[in-house]
Amino acid sequence: MASNTPTKGEQTRMRIAPRICRNDRGAAIVEFALILPLLSMMALGMLTGGIALDRKQDINNAAREAARFGATVAEHQCDDTSKCDGLTWAQLVRALAVQRSNGAVVSANVCVALVSGPGWAPVAVGSSHTTAGGVNPCYVDNSSDTDPRVQVSVSRTDRMEAVLFTMNLNLNSKATARFET
């Protein structure tokens, strides 16, 4: 017949087990305190990284939409600026880029140019058709097309933060669209 009384070895284990559990009570709090800064860094980094990604998408869309809009606006439509709310052709396209960026950029960070010539040396068709000054293009687009095309360049700075460090980001977007005459 089996006895319900524990053996001497079982009694020793039963006395040691509560002490082990009792000594581990604070371990979870200490481990959480050690992990919390890392979790905070990751969470803040993901949040600010996501915000920076959203702004990058905003400037990509703004550049693309402004280039497409500029490609459809007649070249001489704004020669009489009263037809374009007092803006030149390039200023009109730049204003659309700023509007479509959802507040991510200001007009000083947007360059617009109606250029022609080889892609390695594009030239603006006139001073009212570029915001880069003179007859300068916004960038060298290396296009094989020498026909007129619209260049839009949008940039802004941003930063990604984590608890212990900050990373500065330069967000840039360029778009080129063939000018429809």
Q: Which two tokens stand for residue 63?
A: 């550049």
The answer to whether the pTM exceeds 0.75 is: yes
Does pLDDT of 53 surpass 60? Answer: yes
Question: How many degrees, rounded to 5, is the angle at CA 134 between CA 125 and CA 73?
Answer: 40
| C-beta neighbour count of 178 within 10 angstroms | 13
What's the chain's average pLDDT?
Answer: 88
What average pLDDT does the segment 144-159 reach? 94
pLDDT tens track for 107-118? 999 999 999 999
